[in-house]
Amino acid sequence: MPQVAMKYKYKLKDNLLVGGGGFLGAISRYELGSLFKIPPEGFPFGTFVINLSGSFVLGFVLTLIVGRTITPAINNWRLLLATGFIGAYTTFSSFTYEILMLYRQGNIAMGLVYSLASLSGGLLCVWLGVKLARQFKARSPLSE
């Protein structure tokens, strides 16, 4: 197969992995977010839970991948889960818009609490994901 054709074959596969993961991440985000009903001036729990759980999963997945030989299979999982699923699942643009709306509604304190809780909670969740993945890697017969 010519070099150019091979490049596009792999690019298409990569795009399908990212798109498939993105589809599942977007649907998951929509379904989980719909479980939370936010009063007009209330704390946006749906986005908060989505961003924290996404931080955890991203920390977990990337830690399992880091330090391993990047085989085509590992790269496929990275594209599907980290780039596609988590990329569509997490909601930074919604997060920043909700903060702006809280500020505009005069809920400065609520906006600050939401900002700080999301950032500190996100850091904690990504740290927990990394920690759990390291323990998982240490016990896994697949570790290199």
CB-CB contact of 130 with 59 (8 Å): yes
Q: What is the pLDDT of residue 66?
A: 73
Q: What is the pLDDT of residue 130?
A: 94
15-70: pLDDT as tens digits: 999 999 999 999 999 999 999 877 777 888 999 999 999 999 998 988 888 777 78
Distance CA 43, CA 107 (A): 10
Q: What is the pLDDT of residue 85?
A: 95
Helix (H/G/I), strand (E/B), else coil: 88: helix
**CA angle, 136 as apex, 84 and 21 as ends, to 5°?**
10
